């Protein structure tokens, strides 16, 4: 049985992990595979692929627009699974799928999880699936197909809730560094107290943080308190503004990664 790449990565002592978010089917419907492979070759540690959704509540305008464009392009879950299946033997970094639960429910939860395992997905991020619902209804099927469920916390999450999520986690905890939507602020200076508090809680699982990390300084600042950072809106902008996709990916990621690994 294939090993879970995310489990393997987190068991290393590698720090400053870089997770890049990209919307499936954006900028063009057949770009997803090239984005994953180019980002992997540019040195990212994992990729988070967003499932386009018509009402992404937690996402800011940049990711919302990319999601709508992907839907207009004709992107579907079935097509995404086909694209991922074509490159699964070339990918040596963990891939995560981020999406809202309605998309998964409509596809069929068990069939969705089965397909995820088939195409090499290591874990899922489902912002609108509460922990208690996951544990009572879906945890067994996630385990069956060796999928991590990445749980989110925010500055408003109580310490008791953070500990409960830590106990329920199997990979890393996604710390949303701001109560705002993604990509609406610059840097994480408002969130350092939250991240520092988490670092002092001695959680069992590593923390990665995302939301409004858009340059190398913010990335390195986040990594002072966490195992790594997640960059989404800034990456979407980078691949939107370059005519040649590979150049946009390489230029942006070089600006983040340079001498920081």
Say how far apart CA 154 and CA 176 lie, in whole Å: 5
Rg (the chain; Cα; Å):
17
Residue 41 pLDDT: 96
Q: In b/e form, how buried is each residue of 51-64, taking b as 16+ CB within 10 angstroms?
A: bbbeebebbbebbb
Residue 217 falls in the annotated catalytic set: no
- Among 91, 121, 94, 119, residue whose Cα is nearest residue 17: 94
Picking from 4, 2, 1, the residue whose alpha carbon sits closest to that of residue 148 is 4
Q: Is residue 112 part of a domain?
A: yes
Give the residue, 179 or 115, on which the prediction is more confident: 115
Return the pLDDT at 191.
Answer: 78
How does residue 237 score in pLDDT terms, banded at 50, 70 and 90?
very high
CATH code at position 179: 3.20.20.70
- Tell me, what's the pLDDT at 126? 96
- Please state whether the peptide bond connecting residue 27 to the residue before it is cis, i.e. omega within 30 degrees of 0: yes
2 is an active site residue: no
pLDDT for 219: 94
Please check whether residue 1 lies inside any domain of the structure.
no
pLDDT tier at 91, thresholds 50, 70, 90: very high
88 within a domain of the structure (yes/no) = yes
Q: Cβ distance 137 to 167 under 8 Å?
A: no
Catalytic residue selected from 8, 48, 111, 160: 48
Q: Is residue 3 part of a domain?
A: no
Closest CA to 254 of 240, 243, 238: 238
The average pLDDT across 91-114 equals 96
Q: Is the pLDDT of residue 120 over 90?
A: yes
- Give residue 261's pLDDT band: very low, low, confident or very high (50, 70, 90): very low
User: Which residue of the set 59, 160, 217, 247 is catalytic?
Assistant: 59
Burial class (CB in 10 A: 0-12, 13-18, 19+), 35: buried
Range among 97-106, 171-180, 252-261 with highest mean pLDDT value: 97-106
Structure tokens at 59: 């996402």
Domain count, the chain: 1
In a domain, 35, yes or no: yes
Domain hosting 180: range is 16-256
User: Sorting pLDDT into bands at 50, 70 and 90, what band is 181?
Assistant: very low
The answer to whether residue 4 is domain-embedded is no
Q: Is residue 9 part of a domain?
A: no
Give the model's confidence band at 242: pLDDT under 50 very low, under 70 low, under 90 confident, else very high: low
- Residue 186, pLDDT > 60, answer no
Check if the beta carbon of residue 95 is closer than 8 Å to that of residue 121: yes
Whether residue 7 lies inside any domain: the answer is: no
User: What local confidence, expressed as pLDDT, does residue 26 receive?
Assistant: 96
pLDDT of residue 58: 57
Q: Model confidence at 212, in pLDDT bands (50, 70, 90)?
A: confident
Question: What's the token pair of residue 243?
Answer: 């005519």
pLDDT averaged over every residue in the chain: 91
Q: What DSSP character marks residue 150?
A: E
Q: What is the DSSP string of 183-235?
A: TSSSSSGGGHHHHHHHHTTT-SS-EEEESS--SHHHHHHHHTTSSEEEE-HHH
């Amino acid at each position: 049985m294939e090993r879970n790449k995310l489990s393997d990565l987190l068991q290393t002592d590698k720090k400053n992990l870089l997770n890049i978010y990209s919307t499936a089917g954006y900028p063009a419907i057949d770009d997803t595979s090239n984005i994953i492979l180019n980002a992997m070759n540019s040195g990212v540690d994992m990729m988070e692929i967003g499932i386009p959704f018509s009402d992404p509540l937690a996402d800011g305008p940049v990711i919302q627009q990319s999601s709508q464009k992907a839907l207009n392009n004709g992107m579907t879950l079935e097509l995404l699974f086909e694209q991922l299946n074509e490159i699964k033997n070339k990918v040596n970094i963990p891939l995560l799928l981020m999406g809202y639960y309605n998309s998964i429910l409509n596809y069929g939860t068990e069939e969705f999880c089965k397909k995820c395992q088939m195409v090499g997905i290591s874990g899922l991020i489902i912002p609108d699936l509460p922990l208690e619902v996951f544990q009572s209804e879906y945890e067994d099927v996630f385990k069956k197909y060796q999928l991590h469920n990445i749980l989110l916390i925010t500055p408003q999450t109580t310490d008791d809730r953070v500990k409960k999520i830590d106990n329920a986690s199997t990979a890393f905890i996604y710390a949303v560094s701001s109560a705002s939507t993604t990509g609406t602020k610059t840097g994480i200076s408002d969130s350092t107290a939250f991240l520092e508090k988490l670092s002092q809680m001695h959680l069992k699982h590593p923390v990665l943080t995302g939301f409004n990390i858009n340059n190398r300084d913010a990335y390195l600042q986040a990594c002072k308190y966490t195992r790594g950072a997640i960059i989404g809106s800034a990456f979407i902008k980078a691949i939107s503004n370059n005519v040649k996709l590979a150049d946009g990916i390489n230029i942006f990621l070089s600006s983040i990664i340079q001498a920081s690994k």
